[in-house]
């Protein structure tokens, strides 16, 4: 994976020597998170941190944040504070056997007048 400046497309810098997909910037713009593309290992969430000062495109070696073989990391997103990564994980017990749907739940909570006040 490479990073280039935009819009002039100059300053091409290699971030990952082993490839990767679904890159996303952290909220600070100092880290690039991506999914490792290696098929020999469990799926890994990776992070590469920008090194150097503002305007430089040099990168530290990527590190593995966690293994997530039961995750669908192609749908991950980074929290606004940059401290969490959210993704869909497969249920280890298999698919759900039943689904419960609540209809008119607002009326049940608020009462017949639409007021949410309780006696």
**Mean residue pLDDT across the chain:** 78
CB 34 within 8 A of CB 16: yes
Give yes or no for a cis peptide into 68 (omega within 30° of 0): no
10 pLDDT more than 50? yes
Predicted model pTM: 0.65
Note the pLDDT tens digit of each residue in 54-104. Answer: 666 688 999 998 887 766 666 788 888 888 888 877 776 777 777 778 888
CB 88 within 8 A of CB 77: no
**Cβ neighbours, 10 Å, residue 9:** 8
Task: Determine the Cα–Cα distance for residues 26 and 78; give it in Å rounded to an integer.
Answer: 7
Note the pLDDT tens digit of each residue in 23-52. Answer: 889 988 889 999 886 666 667 889 999 887
């Amino acid at each position: 994976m490479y990073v280039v400046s935009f819009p002039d497309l100059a300053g091409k810098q290699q971030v990952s020597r082993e490839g990767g997909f679904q890159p996303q910037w952290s909220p600070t713009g100092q880290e690039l998170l991506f999914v490792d593309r290696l098929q020999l290992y469990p799926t890994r969430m990776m992070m590469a941190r920008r090194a150097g000062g503002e305007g430089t495109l040099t990168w530290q070696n990527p590190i593995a944040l966690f293994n997530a073989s039961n995750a669908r990391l192609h749908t991950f997103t980074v929290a606004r504070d940059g401290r969490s990564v959210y993704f869909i994980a497969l249920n280890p017990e298999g698919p759900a056997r039943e689904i419960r749907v609540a209809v008119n739940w607002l009326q049940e909570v608020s009462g017949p007048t639409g007021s949410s006040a309780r006696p």
